[in-house]
Amino acid sequence: MAARRRNRLRACAECDLVVEMPVLRPGERASCPRCQHPLQHRQKTPLQNTAAICVAALIMLLASLPFQFAHFELPGSAGQMAVLDAVGGLMRVDQALLALVVVLTIVVLPAVYLLAVAYLHIGLLLGLPLWKGRVLLRLLRRLEPWMMADVFLVATLVSLIKMSDDADVGMGLSFWAFCAYALLLLKTTIDINYDHLWLKLEGEAQAPFGARPGTSARSQQLQACRSCGQLVYRPGLAGNSCPRCSGHLPALRASSTQVSWALLLTAVMLYIPANTLPIMETTKFGNSIAANIMGGVIIMWEDGSIPVALVIFIASIVVPLFKMLVLGWLCLLAGQRVQMGQLWRYRLYRLIEFVGRWSMVDVFVVAILVAMVQQGTKLSVLPGPAALAFCSVVVVTMLATRAFDPKLIWHADEMKQEVSP
C-alpha cells in the first residue's frame, strides 16, 4: 500500500471500523460510516482559533472569581455570594469532600485544561519546544467529562428561581463573566482538533503495512490508540503502549466489564441513601424542613415551580436510574453473541455518557443555596447526608460508563470466541 494512503487510515475509537479518511476542506467533518462517531474535522486556522477562544475563556474565568455572583434580599435578611463561596460555604458546614468536588469541577480542572490548551497551541504556533507536550495532550481528553461549568450555570438558575418565591434575587458582574467562561470553555472543547495537534507534535500517523479499510481493526490484529489515533499492529492483542504518543493501549477483553459491574453495584448501593436520606435542610422563620430529593421535587411542584421541579426530577432521579439500567444491560450483552440492535445500543451508550454529568445539578444547587444563605435565624440552609451520597452516585456512574469499552458492542462474535475457546 502506498505511503500516501497509509497515513489516511484511522480506526473509529468507538466501533473499531478501519476507515480511509477523505481529504477534508476547511469547515468539513468526517464521521464513521458505521456508528456516526465524529472522526475528524478541518478548520482554516485550527491553532489560532482555539488559542484565541481558550485565552478568552481563561480571562473570563479570572473575571468570574472576584466579584459578586448572585444575591438575594427579603425583609430583614439578605445574602450574596462570589463563585468560590459555593466552596467556602460547604467547608463551613463540614462538607469538605463535597467542597472538593465542586472546586475541582467548576474551577480547578477547567483551569488546568485551559492552561494546557493555551500552552500547547501557543507553543506550536511559535514553534517552541514543548516540555511534556505528549503528556499534556493525552491528559486533555481525560479532563473533558469532569469540567462542569455549564452544569453549575444551570444549577445557579435553578437556585435563583427556587429562591425567587420568597426573596428578590439578582445576578452580579461575576455571573455574566461566568456565563462567558462556561460558553467559551464549551467552544474550546468542541473546536480543539486532536488529530491536528498530534500531527504537529509527532508527525503523521502511519498505519502498519497491510492495514485495510472496511473491517474492524481487531480482525486485522490492529488496535487504534485512543489518544493519538495511531493504528498499532498487536499480534495476540496483549496490553502495550502506543509507539507514537506512549499512551497505554489496554487489551480489549469481555472481562473488562468487571470494572463497570463493580462500579455499577457501588452506585446502586449509594443510590439508596442518596434518595431516602434528606439532601437539604431548610429553615424558614423557625420552621425546619428536611427533604429528600423526591420530597424536594414534590414541594417545588406544589409551590408552583413546575419547570424547576421537572429539571430536578429528570436530572436527579430519572437520569441516574436510566444510566444504571442501560449500563447494566450493555454489560450483560457485552461478550454475548448478540448482534441485534448494535447501533441502538451504541446510541444509548453515547446518551448515558452525555447526560451523566448533568445529574450534578442538584449537588451544585445545594452548594449555591448554602453559600447564598448565611446561616441566620430567619432563613438557613444546610446540606443533608444524602448530598455526599448523591454526588458519589454521579461520580461513580460516570466512572462506570467510562470503564465500559463501547467496542464490546461491536465485537460480539470475537468476544464470545475468546471467552469460551
**Residues at the site binding Zn ion, with contacts judged by CB under 5 A:** 12, 14-15, 32, 34-35, 37, 225, 227-228, 230, 242, 244-245, 247
Nine-digit cell at 335? 461478550
Q: Nearer Cβ to Zn ion, position 12 or 274?
A: 12
Q: Nearer Cβ to Zn ion, position 176 or 233?
A: 233
Please report which helix (H) or strand (E) contains residue 71, including its range: strand 70-74
Q: How far is the CB of 54 from Zn ion (least distance, A)?
A: 23
* Beta partners for residue 77, in sequence order: 74
Q: How far is the CB of 410 from Zn ion (least distance, A)?
A: 8
Q: How many CA atoms lie within 13 A of 237 on its CB side?
A: 14
Q: Nearer Cβ to Zn ion, position 48 or 241?
A: 241
Q: How far is the CB of 225 from Zn ion (least distance, A)?
A: 3
C-alpha span between 149 and 106 (Å, rounded):
5
Q: Nearer Cβ to Zn ion, position 346 or 390?
A: 346
362 Cα distance to chain centroid: 16
C-alpha span between 154 and 75 (Å, rounded):
27
Q: Nearer Cβ to Zn ion, position 165 or 204?
A: 204
Q: How far is the CB of 255 from Zn ion (least distance, A)?
A: 23
Q: Nearer Cβ to Zn ion, position 103 or 225?
A: 225
**Helical pair 361-372 and 96-103, crossing angle rounded to 10 deg:** 110
Q: How far is the CB of 77 from Zn ion (least distance, A)?
A: 56
Q: How far is the CB of 279 from Zn ion (least distance, A)?
A: 39
Q: How far is the CB of 85 from Zn ion (least distance, A)?
A: 42
Neighbour tally for 133: CB within 10 Å: 20
Neighbour tally for 253: CB within 10 Å: 16
C-alpha span between 339 and 351 (Å, rounded):
20
Q: Nearer Cβ to Zn ion, position 123 or 247?
A: 247
Percent helix, percent strand, percent coil in the chain, to nearest 5: 60, 15, 30
- What is the sign, positive or negative, of the torsion defined by CA atoms of 272, 328, 404, 191? negative
Do residues 158 and 63 make contact, with C-beta atoms less than 8 angstroms apart?
no
Q: Nearer Cβ to Zn ion, position 205 or 381?
A: 205
Q: How far is the CB of 154 from Zn ion (least distance, A)?
A: 30
Q: How far is the CB of 298 from Zn ion (least distance, A)?
A: 43
Do residues 231 and 29 make contact, with C-beta atoms less than 8 angstroms apart?
no
Which segments of 263-378 are extended strands (E)? Answer: 280-284, 287-291
Q: Nearer Cβ to Zn ion, position 14 or 405?
A: 14
| Cell 475468546 -> residue | 418
Do residues 162 and 372 make contact, with C-beta atoms less than 8 angstroms apart?
no
Q: Nearer Cβ to Zn ion, position 72 or 404?
A: 404
Nine-digit cell at 242? 502506543
Instruction: Outline where 243-318 has alpha helix (H).
Output: 257-276, 293-302, 306-312
Q: How far is the CB of 198 from Zn ion (least distance, A)?
A: 8
